[in-house]
Amino acid sequence: MIRPVIAGNWKMNKTVAEAVDFAVRLRTAYSTPPDREVIIAPPFTALQAVADTIRGSFILLAAQNLHEEEKGAYTGEISGKMLREAGCNCVIIGHSERRTLFTESDDRINRKLRAALTAGLRPIFCIGESLRQREEGETEAVIEHQLKEGLNNLTANDIESCVVAYEPVWAIGTGKTASPEQAEKVHRFIREWIVRRYGPKNGAELAILYGGSVTPKNIAELMAQPDINGALVGGASLDVDSFIQLVGC
């Protein structure tokens, strides 16, 4: 059975003090660890302080991005090795905002995935279609292309360390959410593709998260679907009480 994953992507929000306060409140909200993986992704500036705050707890730490090279003349960038040293366990790669606002290509996302794995980080690999692509019936073609190119040259052993997050671009930060049935259809397509490419074991054990205006009001219905194993949450993860509700769904 796949252990559910609830991950909060804070994007460009929270000062160091705000991030630490959130982490303290989240850590102390449970007398025993929840029966799911809980991941938070603060901005780079807060990673070390949050890592110190959650050390020894059930909470895992993710970065929101990384550079594909280990070191070099890349002003403003962060390597996987640096993230590991800062206390990160995971890293978000290929988020739609990186693809659209920063024009990250499938090839670069693939290189980032391989860099994350080399650094010992668990990638949360994001894929998803735009509204135009969905309306033109291209969803599965887009998802297959992103999977094929993003996971290029990854082995079955590599896939064991990955999480996939399906985030329909048209539902991110818009208040729109794919219906549970729409989301499940894409999640099932992703799982079947992984089975064909990497074998039944990897397909059966891969955690596939849904992201796109997830809230405490809709998460239970989404996660009731057989191939939805958790959520990558944006806006609703910024409020600690809301995030605690999401974790407890």
pLDDT at 172: 74
Active-site annotation holds for 187:
no
In the chain, what are the helix, strand and coil shares in percent, each to the nearest 5?
45, 15, 40
pLDDT at 221: 96
Domains of the chain: 5-247 (3.20.20.70)
Using CA atoms, how far residue 196 sits from 16, 144, 203, in Å, is 44, 12, 8
Active-site annotation holds for 95:
yes
pLDDT at 213: 86
DSSP state of 151: T
What single-letter amino acid sits at 170? W
Which of 95, 104, 129, 184 is an active site residue? 95
Two tokens, residue 208: 């596939």
pLDDT at 124: 98
pLDDT at 63: 98
Low-confidence residues in the chain, pLDDT < 50? none
Contact 237, 219 (CB under 8 A): no
pLDDT at 234: 94
pTM (2 d.p.): 0.96
Which of 37, 68, 167, 184 is an active site residue? 167
